[in-house]
Amino acid sequence: MSRTPEQEAPGHAEAPDVGELTPPDRTLMGPGPSPVHPRVLRAMSTPLVGHLDPSFVEMMNETQELLRYTFRTDNQWTIPVSGTGSASMEAAIGNLVEPGETMLVPTNGYFGGRMASMARRAGGEVVEVDAPWGEPLDPADVEAAFEEHQPDVFGFVHAETSTGVLQPEVPELTSIAHDHDAYVIADSVTSLGGVELRVDEWDIDVAYSGPQKCLSCPPGASPLTLNDRAMDKVLDREEEPRSWYLDLSLLEGYWGDERAYHHTAPITNVYALREALRLVAEEGIENRWARHREVAGDLKAGLGELGLEMNADDEFWLPSLNAVRVPDGVDDGAVIDHLLSEHDLEIASGLGDLAGDIWRMGCMGHGARTKNVEFLLSALEEALDEQGYDA
Ligand SMILES: *Cc1c(COP(=O)(O)O)cnc(C)c1O
């Protein structure tokens, strides 16, 4: 194509010819994002208001109330953090961990490693409590790690999305930490709104989550809750947190009583989260936990009928994320590709230590429905058949 001299000048390219947006109609049964409820999508297409508009301030209050209900907490300090789950994660770790302090993190999955990276960037020292990928932490090991290292902050992953393991005995873990005057941060990204989580009853100081897993909301505004004890630590810091954007003492100005500008809230994502949480409240949080167990239980049973094995022991099974072992002789990537290209169905491969060994099948929020599970099982049977696997 010939160009005029002006068009050849840097920065003068022709307008790109990009077509209208037509994303494929996928069924999302991977580790997130999960399928979004039509009501949430509708909420996202409503008109914007300003981030300090009185109507928005009202919606902020309602969203906070709904978040408290979903986290099972009375914590005043319960907010959506602008950004994905990693933003609420970094807000938790970056504010709680002060330079020179020690954070104890788990090694039994991918997200403990991310906790460690964030703690180091906050100026903290990292110590570890070990368990194999595919197993939860043993309280005895946590106790031993506390005796040895006396950490200031202890992080654990309630629902490990990389291994399909649910951490049991949470109150035991928090009581060990509190006996040592430490603070507890729980990663509840894949548990909030999907499996039993009781922030107050279990004595969790800080819990962070994400919207696109069991809340079935697009990513963008991520739940975070801190009790007064944790917030007092944050407000008493000697040194400012290293992130200005995620500094909770500044965010208090916007989400607290003052409602003063800090940064422009992602209005549409707050609408979405509010609607997604309204769906949680309508269903009832305990009914929602039960639905996840029931529907994911059907998935697990169906996988068993196909001769497949779960990665986690039944005792630690995580309904919202089913990690399934890839049978010998089957190409995990070919199955994933087949499901996507033939059925518009998304599942995921393993991460880190489990890459190539497992598939990860989410059963989250609006995706935790019988219809989705039946669809996944029949498509999977076909994909396995294609690979010469005999169920
Ligand atoms: C998804 C996930 C995160 C990170 O959330 P993003 O929204 O991807 O930033 C953190 N922890 C766990 C356990 C997760 O599953």
Distance of CA 9 from the midpoint of ligand 1 (Å): 43
Residue 44: what pLDDT? 98
DSSP 170-205: HHHHHHHHHHTT-EEEEE-TTTTTTS---TTTTT-S
**Domain 38-282 CATH (choose: 3.30.470.20, 3.40.640.10, 3.40.50.1970, 3.30.365.10):** 3.40.640.10
Residue whose CA lies nearest to ligand 1 atom number 2: 189
Residue 120: what pLDDT? 98
Same fold, 27-33+284-386 and 38-282: no
In the chain, what are the domain boundaries? 27-33+284-386, 38-282
Q: Does domain 27-33+284-386 have CATH number 3.90.1150.10?
A: yes
Distance of CA 189 from the midpoint of ligand 1 (Å): 6
Residue whose CA lies nearest to ligand 1 atom number 14: 189
Residue 5: what pLDDT? 55
Which parts of the chain have pLDDT scores under 50? 1
Residue 297 contacts by C-beta under 8 Å, 6 or more apart in sequence? Answer: 319
Residue 12: what pLDDT? 77
Residue type, 133: W
What tens digit of pLDDT does each residue of 8-61 get? 677 878 899 999 999 999 999 999 999 999 999 999 999 999 999 999 999 999
Residue whose CA lies nearest to ligand 1 atom number 7: 85
